[in-house]
Amino acid sequence: EIARGLHELFVARLGPTAETEGVVAAKHLKAKIKDALEEVPNIDDDTIIRRYLNLIQASLRTNHFVPDLKEKGQSLAIKLDSQTVDGLPAPRPWREIFVYGSEVEGVHLRFGPVARGGLRWSDRAQDYRTEVLGLVKAQQVKNAVIVPVGAKGGFYPKKLPMGAGRDAIFEAGASAYKNYVSSLLSITDNIGLDGVIPPAGVIRRDQDDPY
């Protein structure tokens, strides 16, 4: 029942009907989930469920409901307000995007509306976010003045050919990189001649953010 409620809350916040019915539905679902939590006997289970609830409430955008996502070969992307996510280690990003798919996983951490920094090909399947956060800390130490603030991203290719040569590994890594970047861009505003252009099919729980 709680798992169903969490899914329904995610849909209410970011799904196709979020702009018309989402606010009322989300408020009702949050209350329903919190009531159901009173019946959870195990403290560990309670903590895990509350973290999921917190993550859903911190989610600002996703490409999950974009109709032609799979046809484009893109991975799932969810944009988070990192300042409101419980339990994150310091330094906390201003925003971050989590990417997950069969070909690639990754994150992009951004410390302000306008930020600059590179992307890293990671070989750390379990803790690539920790690696990227460490790079951000090093960036802050090396560059005391970053105009205006820093950003870092990291992606982990999941389908590198075992025992293959350098060229084959590079090709698979490059494909994962393209998937990662296109997934980031799928929930990112663009700028045209007439101003900001929101991504098609994406509900935005934040303001214009044409990074």
**Nearest alpha carbon to residue 153 among 191, 185, 190, 197:** 185
Q: Is the dihedral of CA 32, 35, 39, 42 positive or negative?
A: positive
What's the rounded Cα separation, in Å, for the pair 67 and 63? Answer: 9
User: What ranges make up the beta strands (E) of 50-187?
Assistant: 59-62, 76-80, 95-100, 104-110, 115-116, 119-121, 149-157
Note whether 85 and 55 are within 8 A (CB): yes
- Per the annotation, the verdict on 152 as an active-site residue is yes
Give the burial class of 16: count Cβ atoms within 10 A of its Cβ; 0-12 exposed, 13-18 middle, 19 or more buried. middle
6 by Cβ neighbours in 10 Å (0-12 / 13-18 / 19+) ranks as middle
34, 152, 159, 178: the catalytic one is 152
Beta strands in 111-163 (DSSP E): 115-116, 119-121, 149-157
Catalytic residues: 152
